[in-house]
C-alpha cells in the first residue's frame, strides 16, 4: 500500500460486503483507494462508485485504481450521495462501505492543519473549498459556542476554561501551534493528560468544521434506504461519538415500529429495514494493530437490508 493511507480491516470489510457480480456498490470514503481496490480485486464484476470530498484523495485513488473501468469517482460529500447517484440513474445499491474520519495523508500533510504537532494555518477542512475552517471557529465563534463544541465533540472536561482562554487570546489566532500554546496555558504541557486534551480539542474542531456527526446521521439513513434487499452496509468508525450514531441508526432500522408501548395500533410509518450482522462491533486483530496503530480504535459494524414490506405491519 502507498504511504498515503493504510486501509483498516480490509478483509473483514470485504467479507461483510458479500460482493456479487453484477452488483452496484459505493465506497463512501474512498481516501487513498485501499478498500476500493480490495473490493474490485475480490469481485471484478461489480460497478463501484467512489466518493470522497477531498480532491487529493481522489487523485491518489485514481492512480491506485488505474485500469479498473468499473470504478467511477465522485468528488462530493457523502451527504449528497442520493442525489449524486440519482443523477447517474442509480436508484438502488447492493452494498456500501463507510470508513470514517480522516486519512493518514490528511493528518500527515502539515498544510491541512489537522495535526497537533505540525505548524500550519488552522484549517481542518476535508473539502478544501468548504467555507468553514478551524480558523473561523477559533477566531469568530463566541466563547459559549466554542465551549459547547469542545464539550460535545471532544468530551473535554476543561472545555469551558479552554474556550475562555481562546476568547481572551490576542486575535487573530493563525496557526495550529498558537492554538496548542493557548490550550497549554490551561492544561500545561508535557503530561499525558495535556496531550489527550490537545487531541480532544483538535478532534472537536475537526468534527465541527466538517459537520461530521450531522452528515453521518443523514448519510446512514440515505444509505439504508438506497440498499436493495440483501444489500450490505459496513461502517468503520474511530471514536465513540461516531460509533454511537452507527449503533443507534442500525438499531432504529432494525425495529418494525417506533410507537410508544402505550399505543396499541401502530401509527408510525416505520418498518424494519435491517438485520444487524455484528451484535458487538468487530475490532482489528493484534497483528494488524502492531503494523498499523490507527487500527487500534477501529470498530466495524455491518448490517443487511431486509426485504421491503408490501404493507406496513399493524399490531393488533
Ligand X SMILES: C[S@@+](CC[C@H](N)C(=O)[O-])C[C@H]1O[C@@H](n2cnc3c(N)ncnc32)[C@H](O)[C@@H]1O
Which lies closer to ligand X via its Cβ, residue 78 or residue 208?
78
Which lies closer to ligand X via its Cβ, residue 58 or residue 159?
58
Question: How many other CB atoms are there within 10 angstroms of residue 17's CB atom?
Answer: 26
| Least CB distance to ligand X at residue 219 (A) | 7
Which lies closer to ligand X via its Cβ, residue 163 or residue 298?
298
Which lies closer to ligand X via its Cβ, residue 51 or residue 135?
51
| Least CB distance to ligand X at residue 80 (A) | 8
| Least CB distance to ligand X at residue 210 (A) | 6
Pairing of strands 93-99, 71-75: unpaired
CA–CA distance, 96 with 27 (Å, rounded to integer): 6
Is residue 52 a contact partner of residue 75, using CB atoms and an 8 Å limit?
yes
| Least CB distance to ligand X at residue 191 (A) | 29
End-to-end CA distance of the chain: 56
The residues of the shown chain that bind ligand X, judged by CB under 6 A, are 5, 7, 29, 31-35, 51-54, 57, 77-79, 99, 101-103, 126, 215
Which lies closer to ligand X via its Cβ, residue 17 or residue 183?
17
| Least CB distance to ligand X at residue 312 (A) | 32
Is residue 290 a contact partner of residue 268, using CB atoms and an 8 Å limit?
no
| Least CB distance to ligand X at residue 113 (A) | 14
Is residue 71 a contact partner of residue 40, using CB atoms and an 8 Å limit?
yes
To which residue does cell 447517484 refer?
85
CA–CA distance, 166 with 168 (Å, rounded to integer): 5
Which lies closer to ligand X via its Cβ, residue 186 or residue 215?
215
Closest residue to bound ligand X by CB: 31
Question: How many other CB atoms are there within 10 angstroms of residue 237's CB atom?
Answer: 23
C-alpha cell at 53: 470530498
CA–CA distance, 124 with 190 (Å, rounded to integer): 24
Amino acid at each position: 500500500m502507498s504511504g498515503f493511507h493504510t486501509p483498516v480491516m480490509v478483509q473483514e470489510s470485504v467479507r461483510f460486503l458479500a460482493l456479487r457480480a453484477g452488483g452496484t456498490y459505493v465506497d463512501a470514503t474512498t481516501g487513498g483507494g485501499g478498500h476500493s481496490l480490495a473490493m474490485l480485486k475480490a469481485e471484478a464484476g461489480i460497478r463501484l462508485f467512489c466518493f470522497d470530498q477531498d480532491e487529493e484523495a481522489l487523485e491518489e485513488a485514481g492512480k491506485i485504481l488505474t485500469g479498473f473501468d468499473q470504478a467511477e469517482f465522485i468528488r462530493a460529500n457523502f451527504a449528497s450521495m442520493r442525489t449524486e447517484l440519482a443523477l447517474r440513474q442509480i436508484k438502488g445499491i447492493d452494498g456500501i462501505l463507510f470508513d470514517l474520519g480522516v486519512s493518514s495523508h490528511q493528518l500527515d500533510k502539515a498544510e491541512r492543519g489537522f495535526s497537533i504537532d505540525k505548524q500550519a494555518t488552522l484549517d481542518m477542512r476535508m473539502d478544501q473549498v468548504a467555507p468553514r475552517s478551524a480558523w473561523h471557529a477559533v477566531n469568530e465563534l463566541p466563547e459559549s459556542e466554542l465551549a459547547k463544541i469542545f464539550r460535545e465533540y471532544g468530551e473535554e472536561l476543561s472545555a469551558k476554561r479552554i474556550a475562555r482562554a481562546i476568547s481572551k487570546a490576542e486575535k487573530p489566532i493563525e496557526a495550529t501551534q498558537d492554538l496548542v500554546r493557548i490550550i497549554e496555558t490551561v492544561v500545561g504541557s508535557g503530561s499525558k493528560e495535556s496531550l489527550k486534551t490537545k487531541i480532544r480539542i483538535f478532534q472537536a474542531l475537526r468534527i465541527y468544521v466538517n459537520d461530521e456527526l450531522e452528515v453521518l446521521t443523514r448519510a446512514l439513513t440515505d444509505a439504508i434506504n438506497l440498499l436493495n434487499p440483501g444489500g450490505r452496509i459496513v461502517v468503520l468508525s474511530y471514536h465513540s461519538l461516531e460509533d454511537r450514531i452507527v449503533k443507534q441508526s442500525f438499531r432504529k432500522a432494525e425495529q418494525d415500529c417506533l410507537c410508544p408501548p402505550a399505543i396499541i395500533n401502530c401509527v408510525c410509518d416505520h418498518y424494519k429495514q435491517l438485520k444487524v450482522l455484528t451484535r458487538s462491533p468487530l475490532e482489528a486483530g493484534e497483528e494488524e494493530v502492531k503494523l498499523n496503530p490507527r487500527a487500534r480504535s477501529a470498530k466495524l459494524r455491518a448490517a443487511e437490508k431486509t426485504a421491503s414490506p408490501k404493507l406496513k405491519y399493524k399490531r393488533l
